[in-house]
Structure 1
Amino acid sequence: MFLDVLIRRNPGFVEAAMALHQQGAIPPNSYVLDLDAVERNARHFSTEANKLGLKTFAMTKQVGRHSGFCQAAMRGGIEKSVAVDLDCAVACHRVGMKTGHLGHLVQVPGGNANFAASQLQPDFWTVFSDDKMREAANAAHKAGRVQNLLARIQTEGDTFYRGHEGGFAAEDIRAVADKFDAQDGAGFAGITTFPALLFDQETRKVIPTPNLQTLARAREALAAAGRSEIEVNAPGTNSSVVLSALAEAGATQCEPGNALHGTTPLHAVEDLPEDPAVLYLSEVSHHHGGNAFCFGGGLYVDPVFPKYDVHALIASEPTSSRKALASVEIPDYSAIDYYGMIDATGPVQPKTGDTVVFGFRGQAFVTRANIVGVSGVASGTPAVTTIENIFGEVTGWPEKALS
């Protein structure tokens, strides 16, 4: 779905990644990042957010918490991260990107609360329940801090992905805020939900979910109780073109993730200011039964669109020509993606060792892929910076793996 826009808007990156793979600098099963483009995207996004008074926290999970991605975002003006889980916070913190928001979507495990409060010291910490509120407050009190807490709220009719449910009843928000403030080590800072915005398949636009109105009603209830200065965190399908709508709805925080590498659903159907800056790279392994098999490991195509015919660019030399496109079958989610299967019966005749480039919206952190940073695409001098695993740890795979 994103390969067309990738070829059209960032062909130099595609060709640079293919050349680096053919030189042996990038292994197959790699998410490859154009760090120059990430920096440009972050600068544009942060500039627009700052104009609207929005705090911006970068989501890094989609690209494996790569250190170069974090640093490019910081150079572009986004100084802090939103951590989908503790692993994100640790990876970002390790390279100097402090934690702006922790605990949403994944709550902090009880045994890690003291570490989070004393070592990570997040600006904001989201909790879904009284138990999690007390854990965060007690840990912060032990660390000699007062932690700003966000209450995840929900009400009947709100939208949640299955397995993401949880939160305080929005109708009880005033009592929830008072309860937070009464706890040593805690301070009520505001409210959050997810998703506040979603891509609509029919209109091909980003539209608000009922959750955004839930936030607005809760904010009004808090204001009526004298709490007029609160944080409203409204993540979901963020790109620079939706920021004004978020600000108008009362949001004070935004959390770009896919926007920073140009892979929100809206990027697939409209040319937005952010350039595509990530691709998935593989290599032809062998042939069987009319298919050329390419290495997998990172073939998790985020299902934001209904199933579609996946294509890849296959060649032995750098190219961004659509003549090198072939259809690829990837294993169903119920199977392990050891290989993708390229149709070798058409005009494209893959050879063992050929480079295979996909353009899809990924979630690298749930895969076993490498994450590879590339700098210098913009200047015509592309080079690999680091090869890392999905926890943002430099591996130098495979040569340094045993050192």
Structure 2
Amino acid sequence: MFLDDLELRNPKLIEYSFKMHQSGKINPNTYILDLDTILNNSKELITEAKKYDIEPYFMSKQLGRNPLVCKKLMGLGFKGAVVVDFQEAKIMIDNNIPIAHIGNLVQIPDGMLKKVISYGVGMITIFSLEKARKIDEIARQLGITQNICLKFYNKKDFLYDGQKSGFLLEDLEYVLAEILKLKNLKIDSLTAFPCYLYEQKSDKVLPTANLKTMQSAQKRIHKLFNFEPRLNVPSCNQANLMYQVSLQGGSSVEPGSSLMGMTPDNVNHTSREIAAMVYVTEVSHNFQEHAFCYGGGSYFRGKIDKALVGTDKDASRKISVIKPAPQNIDYHIELSEQSEVGKTVLMAFRTQVFVTRSEVAVISGLQQDKPKIEGFYTSGGQFISEKSWADL
């Protein structure tokens, strides 16, 4: 999906990936992160967000919750990380990385609430009164006021399977009245997901019905309760979107894929952010008329379409990828043609590294022609080694 953008705007990452795999320094089923370009992309977004008084929080799940990258992002001026589930919270806490927002997609389990809240969290999204009461109780024990974020939905909103949650908009008055009884909670923001989606036909990122529901909730709260929560507007957050976010009242954004230059509009090279990640694997064998490469890193919504196959950039050729079936384990990824066993295979697609079985290699200095492997990590952010497996 993003291979063309890599070739056009980040050829050094392609050249480096071929070299490192062929030399045995990078294993198959490894995502390489170009730290230089990730930081440049992030600076673009932060600059644009600050122009419109929008607060950016970074997402790390797409790049494997990598603590090294997260710490570098904090150095640019991000307020903290967006944590989508309690496993990610543990990674951030273990590495002393500030948490700006938690709970939008997955609530904090009761047994972990005290640990997370006592660590310090910018705001916690809730979508049940039971959870609100438990958070209030713990905040009272700790002697703090905890900022919370509420999620409302309308029956016509677009919600992904496995992510359905929120208070029904028509119940807003009752929900607010109950939460306002909880004296150790402060309603800071409203949120929804997704607030923006890319439309291929127009090649534009457009607001969803979810965003309109959130704006309606904000207006009703102001009318009924005389205060106005901020709007947290995640999904497709990138530099080019910040002006639109400002016009629609957004106060905070949560870039993730854009930091790696992997938002859908990058297919047409219209995003300011440049592709900064590549998936490296290797031809395992041929079966009938097709080559099969080592898998483990595919993502069923990734829109994998083609791969560069060869021993270096100049000697490589593009081969179509047969999209892995979501109902099967991706032990291998199938190519549309045969190829020589052992050749490097490079792909770039819209991924979520944290749900894969891949390793992650973080590379600094690539854009200054001084590449250095900073370390190898699991897809969930656990440090493995500073050296490649071949050098241990």
Give the TM-score, by structure 2 length: 0.94
Structure 2 counterparts to residues 204-215 of structure 1, below 5 A: 204-215=203-214
Is the deviation greater in 162-171 or in 24-33? Answer: 162-171
Is the deviation greater in 268-277 or in 100-109? Answer: 268-277
**Alpha-carbon distance between aligned partners in 2 of 1:33 and 1:42, rounded to the nearest angstrom:** 14
**CA contact under 8 A between 1:124 and 1:150: conserved in structure 2?**
yes
**Pairwise CA RMSD:** 2.1
Kindly provide the amino acid, as one letter, of the partner of residue 111 in structure 1: G
- Structure 2, unmatched stretches of 5+, are none
Partner of 1:153: 152
Report the CA distance shift for 1:29/1:94 in structure 2 as closer, same or farther (over 3 A).
Answer: same
User: What are the Cα deviations for residues 232-263 of structure 1, in whole angstroms up to 9, with x where unaligned?
Assistant: 11111111111111121111110001010011
Partner of 1:194: 193
Residue 372 (structure 2) pairs with residue 383 (structure 1): yes
**CA contact under 8 A between 1:31 and 1:278: conserved in structure 2?**
yes
**Alpha-carbon distance between aligned partners in 1 of 2:181 and 2:292, rounded to the nearest angstrom:** 60
1:335 counterpart (328, 333, 347):
328
Partner of 2:273: 274
**Alpha-carbon distance between aligned partners in 2 of 1:213 and 1:288, rounded to the nearest angstrom:** 51
**CA contact under 8 A between 1:14 and 1:320: conserved in structure 2?**
no
Partner of 1:252: 251
Structure 2 counterparts to residues 172-321 of structure 1, below 5 A: 172-225=171-224, 227-303=226-302, 310-317=305-312, 319=313
**Alpha-carbon distance between aligned partners in 2 of 1:228 and 1:186, rounded to the nearest angstrom:** 15
User: How many pairs are equivalent?
Assistant: 391
Kindly provide the amino acid, as one letter, of the partner of residue 333 in structure 1: P
Kindly provide the amino acid, as one letter, of the partner of residue 378 in structure 2: N
Report the CA distance shift for 1:113/1:344 in structure 2 as closer, same or farther (over 3 A).
Answer: same
Give the TM-score, by structure 1 length: 0.91
**CA contact under 8 A between 1:261 and 1:274: conserved in structure 2?**
yes
Secondary structure in 2 matching 1:123: strand
Is the deviation greater in 221-230 or in 14-23? Answer: 221-230
User: What are the Cα deviations for residues 72-129 of structure 1, in whole angstroms up to 9, with x where unaligned?
Assistant: 322333241111112222223433431000001111112211111112x210000011
Secondary structure in 1 matching 2:26: coil
**Alpha-carbon distance between aligned partners in 1 of 2:389 and 2:200, rounded to the nearest angstrom:** 45
**CA contact under 8 A between 2:374 and 2:386: conserved in structure 1?**
no
**Alpha-carbon distance between aligned partners in 1 of 2:143 and 2:25, rounded to the nearest angstrom:** 47
Partner of 1:13: 13
Report the CA distance shift for 1:34/1:135 in structure 2 as closer, same or farther (over 3 A).
Answer: same
Kindly provide the amino acid, as one letter, of the partner of residue 390 in structure 1: S
2:354 counterpart (350, 359, 365):
365
Report the CA distance between 1:194 and its aligned residue. Answer: 0.7
**CA contact under 8 A between 2:124 and 2:149: conserved in structure 1?**
yes
**CA contact under 8 A between 1:25 and 1:384: conserved in structure 2?**
no
Partner of 2:58: 58
Report the CA distance shift for 1:339/1:296 in structure 2 as closer, same or farther (over 3 A).
Answer: same
Report the CA distance between 1:190 and its aligned residue. Answer: 2.1
Report the CA distance between 1:361 and its aligned residue. Answer: 0.5
Residue 345 (structure 2) pairs with residue 352 (structure 1): no
Report the CA distance shift for 1:39/1:398 in structure 2 as closer, same or farther (over 3 A).
Answer: closer
Kindly provide the amino acid, as one letter, of the partner of residue 312 in structure 1: A
Kindly provide the amino acid, as one letter, of the partner of residue 237 in structure 2: N
Partner of 2:34: 34
User: What are the Cα deviations for residues 131-169 of structure 1, in whole angstroms up to 9, with x where unaligned?
Assistant: 121122222222222110111111121111122212112
Structure 2 counterparts to residues 78-117 of structure 1, below 5 A: 78-117=78-117
**Alpha-carbon distance between aligned partners in 1 of 2:199 and 2:91, rounded to the nearest angstrom:** 33
**CA contact under 8 A between 2:359 and 2:378: conserved in structure 1?**
yes
**CA contact under 8 A between 2:25 and 2:389: conserved in structure 1?**
no
Is the deviation greater in 55-64 or in 91-100? Answer: 91-100
User: What are the Cα deviations for residues 21-48 of structure 1, in whole angstroms up to 9, with x where unaligned?
Assistant: 2222211101111100010111111111
Report the CA distance shift for 1:69/1:227 in structure 2 as closer, same or farther (over 3 A).
Answer: farther
